[in-house]
Amino acid sequence: MALDLTDLVTAAKAGDKAAFTKLVEATTAEMYTLAYRLTGNAEDAQDVVQEAYVRAYKGLKKFRGDAEFTSWMYRITANCANTHLVRSSRHRHDAMDETEELADDRPGPEARLTSADERSQLNLALQSLSPEMRAVVVLRDVYDLPHEAIAAELGISEGAAKVRLHRARRKLRERLFPLRGEESTHEDARAV
Amino acid sequence: MQCDQVADRLPQIVDGGERAAPAVLAHVDSCLRCQAELVQYRKLLKALRTLRTDILEPAPGTLTAILASLEAVGERGAMRSLLAGRRAAYVGGIAAATAAAGAAGAIVLANRGRRKMRLAG
């Protein structure tokens, strides 16, 4: 059931703290889900979503209301997740290369997508992408954000965002929906 | 056009985001392998879209942590406006005291001037 948040946004913009609390309560699970998909773990997702709401609270007066509150929050969450990932990769010195190959745990032909396990396979495949590629494909193909918004929140050019998206789609397609021949090539490579 | 060249374009055109060149379309029309690959991309996009409604349960304590952060930000904001108010009061007080001192000085000087004139007269 979609909740109309417009009145709450208007009240919150006028300084009603209880209205903002209700907005948080209504959207936390969605933002947490996005943060989890972008960061890949619960602890980071919690930090990201916390930071995102603080930023939203501080910037609420700037929210013009021409987009939905949830879309605005998606952008803020994506931006926070990106900042978080950049910061942690700097700390860990293990930033993944954008062109990194998928981990060699691709499911074999017996694990072809079925309606029963499709979502878990999909989530696994997304987690196997580099954070940079994952962010773009999640924001575009799951959350339907425009290229321009994705580029702005990730601090990259629109062209770079598109290139990452197309590479990510290709990797996901090869992993989840391989063509005949692609499986055997992969199996051969593993056997060597 | 070769399949390899077309394969590079398929992830770009699968959602209609970018217009395919006529040569690419012509190749896809006549190539079963590329048609199959395009179908697989469409399946992928459809599957990805279903994730939008797949909402996870936040880790325990997430909402509480968010509300606590917001509370802290609100308190900091209130403290800042309180300090800003006090600062304004201090500045106002100093300005009033300076003005009063100036006025008193002017009165003293004016009285001295009058006294001097009386003595001279």
Burial of B115 (0-12, 13-18, 19+ CB in 10 A): exposed
Residue A101 or residue A83, greater confidence: A83
Among partner residues B40, B44, B69, which is closest to A50 by beta-carbon distance? B69
| Dihedral angle over CA of A189, B2, B7, B12, nearest 10 | 160
Q: Is this model's pTM higher than 0.90 or not?
A: no
In this prediction, residues B56-66 reach a mean pLDDT of: 92
Q: Which of B73, B97, B18, B104 is nearest to A59 (CA)?
A: B73
What is the nearest CA distance from B101 to chain A, expressed in angstroms? 42
User: Does residue A110 have a pLDDT over 80?
Assistant: no
Q: Tell me whether residues A49 and B58 touch, CB distance under 8 A.
A: yes
Q: State chain B's mean pLDDT as an integer.
A: 83
For A49, the closest chain B residue by CA position comes to: B66
Q: How large is the average pLDDT for residues B92-99?
A: 72
Closest Cα of chain A to B90: distance in Å? 27
- Taking Cα atoms as reference points, which of B115, B7, B40, B102 lies closest to residue A175? B40
A-to-B residue pairs, Cβ atoms closer than 8 angstroms: 106
High-pLDDT (> 70) share of chain A, %: 80
Q: What is the pLDDT of residues B1-47, one digit of tens each?
A: 889 899 999 999 898 877 888 999 999 999 999 999 999 999 999 99
ipTM: 0.79
Kindly report the average pLDDT of chain A as a whole number: 84
Which pairs count as long-range contacts for A11-19, CB under 8 Å and 24+ apart, including other chains?
Answer: A12/A60, A13/A60, A13/A61, A13/A63, A17/B74
List pLDDT tens digits, range B69-90: 999 987 776 666 666 666 666 6
Helix (H) or strand (E) holding A81, with range, is helix A69-92
Task: Give me the pLDDT at residue A134, please.
Answer: 96
Please indicate whether, in this complex, the C-beta atoms of B51 and A50 are within 8 angstroms of each other: no
Distance CA A21, CA B6 (A): 50
Tell me, letter by letter, the H, E, C secondary structure of B9-74. HHHHHCCCCCCCCHHHHHHHHHCHHHHHHHHHHHHHHHHHHHHHHCCCCCCCCHHHHHHHHHHHHH
Please state, as a whole number, how many other Cβ atoms lie within 10 Å of the Cβ of residue B65: 17
Q: Inspect the interface and report whether the beta carbons of A122 and B67 lie closer than 8 Å.
A: no
Q: Using a CB-CB distance cutoff of 8 angstroms, which residues of chain A are in contact with residue B45?
A: 141, 169
Identify all chain A residues contacting B56, using CB atoms and an 8 Å cutoff. 29, 32-33, 36
Domains and CATH numbers, chain A: 1-95 (1.10.1740.10), 101-192 (1.10.10.10)
- Asked if A140 and A111 touch (Cβ cutoff 8 Å), the reply is no
Which residue is closest to A16 within chain B, CA to CA?
B74
How far from B71 is each of A13, A21, A131, CA to CA, in Å?
16, 10, 31
Helices B3-13, B22-30: crossing angle, 10 deg rounding: 110
Better-scored residue on pLDDT, A178 or A95 = A178
Q: Could you tell me if A153 and A82 are in contact, meaning their C-beta atoms sit under 8 angstroms apart? A: yes
